[in-house]
A and B are shown apart, each in its own frame.
Chain A
Amino acid sequence: QVHLVESGGGLVKPGGSLRLSCAASGFTFHDYYMTWVRQAPGKGLEWVSYITSAGTFTNDADSVKGRFTISRDNARNSLYLQMSSLRAEDTAVYYCARESFSRGTYLLDYWGQGTLVTVSS
């Protein structure tokens, strides 16, 4: 079955960098768009970035644009999120999710369990 496992979270100082990974299994990874979503403590879900199946196009939420970079390695069935210039407000659980395309719409249909990023001095 579909399995998504995030890793790489931890404690980082403001201004620092961190790279998250998401290992995918149970489906043909290179056929699917992928997304990162985050959830700050006690808050709702916030879309962060998405990447097309071949990795040729990405887009990011305004809140992380220019600081975060999404990428993927289809040979390794892996998704990444490179985060830099981190701020306290980036503190959140970060989830990777698979996107499913149907009838002209991309919707998230599988989620990982999340990895916690804490930005604090």
Chain B
Amino acid sequence: QLVLTQSPSASASLGASVKLTCTLSSGHSSYAIAWHQQQPEKGPRFLMRLNSDGSHTKGDGIPDRFSGSSSGSERYLTISSLQSEDEGDYYCQTWGTAIRVFGGGTKLTVL
């Protein structure tokens, strides 16, 4: 069964960096994922597509502060030079046979 696992919460200080993790279930380590950001009281926004080899393609207008990387079944989103507007929920998403799957989301707090 295709499942994406995310830690429920993360925090980091203003100006620092943070690395969020999305883990693919066993047998699905070759899958690409997408990262989506949801700021408080707003709809989601596509951040990037992240492939198993770590290559990634960002969405329109996504700052260079956002980057992605991969290792085995883990997909990472790194946000550097954290700003207050980076606070919100971050979801990973992938695609299975005729289904789409979301991780449970990580709530990022900028201290």
Q: Which residues of chain A have a CB within 8 Å of any CB of chain B?
A: 1, 35, 37, 44-47, 50, 57, 59, 61, 93, 95, 97, 100, 102-103, 105-114
User: Looking at chain B's contact residues, is the secondary structure mostly helix, strand, loop, or mixed?
Assistant: strand
Residues of B within 8 A of A109 (CB): 34, 46, 49, 59
Q: Is the CB of B32 within 8 A of A47?
A: no
5 contacts between A and B (CB under 8 A): A1-B60, A45-B93, A47-B99, A59-B99, A105-B49
Partner of B100, one of A50, A93, A95, A113: A50
Per the bound structure, the CA–CA distance linking A74 and B57 in Å amounts to 28
User: Looking at chain A's contact residues, is the secondary structure mostly helix, strand, loop, or mixed?
Assistant: strand
Residues of B within 8 A of A113 (CB): 42-43
Per the bound structure, the CA–CA distance linking A85 and B105 in Å amounts to 29
**In the complex, what residue of chain B is closest to A45 when comparing beta carbons?**
B102
**In the complex, what residue of chain B is closest to A58 when comparing beta carbons?**
B98
B66 within 8 A of A: no
